Amino acid sequence: MTNNALIIGGSSGLGLEIALELSKKYDVTVTGRRDPCQDAVRFMPLDIGADTCALQRKLDELTAALPHTDLFVYAAGFYQEGTIDKLTDEDIMKMNNAGFLAPALLISRIINKQQELPGYIAITSTSQWTPRLYEPIYTGVKAGLAKLSESLALDPRVHKTLIAAPAGMKTRFWEGTGRDLSVMLDPKWAAKQVVELYEDDFRYKFAKIMREPARVEVVEKIER
């Protein structure tokens, strides 16, 4: 029987590359706002906005429609720039929903439904540990997602947790910012590192995927 993987934010960039890599071994469902139109994966739309009640309803519907999830990957995220006074309440709530609340609500629903989560990968960022004046909410949700994931790794029903924190990658994330992508990581390469990091046997692992030079640093690993 083939195992199922669910990748939230698997419609583009790193999440899509992880989805394609995992599709060699898993039946993969990806979510996002835009269908990536890839034969190797099933697409389910999920638009995460600022409205928390709407998010709860969408996650209820998604959870009900899902098969047993053997591997849950949370890769959704977007770039948001501005000092805190320049961000609207809507900006702040949307980032909070997409970066922190959606994974928390979804994992809660999955564990309630199936009483276990065999595998979990959280995609954070170097922003998990780097303060950034112009990305206050983004850095906050990435740090929060990391601590949430580390805490979930203590739950015996969550069998295996990987936190993968990539540095800058050449993806749509930077669309419209004018950022120089030439020095950034290839998301296909980064996805291969994430899948390799997940492959061995462990209970909890935290790894940085760094650039210049491109390299992987395993910061912490807890054996079973």
Q: What is the DSSP letter of 173?
A: G
CB of 219 to ligand NAP, least distance (A): 16
Are 3 and 177 a contacting pair, CB within 8 Å? no
Q: CB of 185: closest distance to ligand NAP in angstroms?
A: 8
Q: What letter represents residue 51's amino acid? A: D
Smallest distance from the beta carbon of 13 to ligand NAP, in angstroms? 2
Q: Count CB neighbours of 171 within 10 A.
A: 21
* Closer residue to ligand NAP, CB minimum distance, 13 or 119: 13
Q: Which of 210, 185, 190, 211 is nearest to 21 (CA)?
A: 190
- Residue 144 vs 187, nearer CB to ligand NAP: 187
Residue (29 or 171) nearer to ligand NAP, CB? 171
Note the residue count of the chain: 224
Q: How far is the CB of 94 from ligand NAP (least distance, A)?
A: 6
Tell me whether residue 156 or residue 176 sits nearer to ligand NAP (CB atom): 176
Closest-approach residue to ligand NAP (CB): 13
CB of 12 to ligand NAP, least distance (A): 4
Residue 4 CB, nearest approach to ligand NAP (Å)? 18
Q: In what order do the strands lie in the sheet with 204-210?
A: 41-45, 26-32, 3-8, 71-74, 119-123, 161-166, 204-210, 215-222
Q: Which residues sit at the interface with ligand NAP, rule CB under 6 A?
A: 9-15, 32-34, 46-48, 75-78, 98, 123, 125, 166, 168-169, 171-173, 184, 187
User: In this complex, which beta carbon is closest to ligand NAP, that of residue 205 or of residue 208?
Assistant: 208
| Per-residue CA distances from 27 to 42, 65, 121, 201, 221 (Å) | 8, 15, 16, 21, 27
Measured from the CB atom, the residue of 88 and 222 that comes closer to ligand NAP is 88
Q: Where are the beta strands (DSSP E) in the chain?
A: 3-8, 26-32, 41-45, 71-74, 119-123, 161-166, 204-210, 215-222
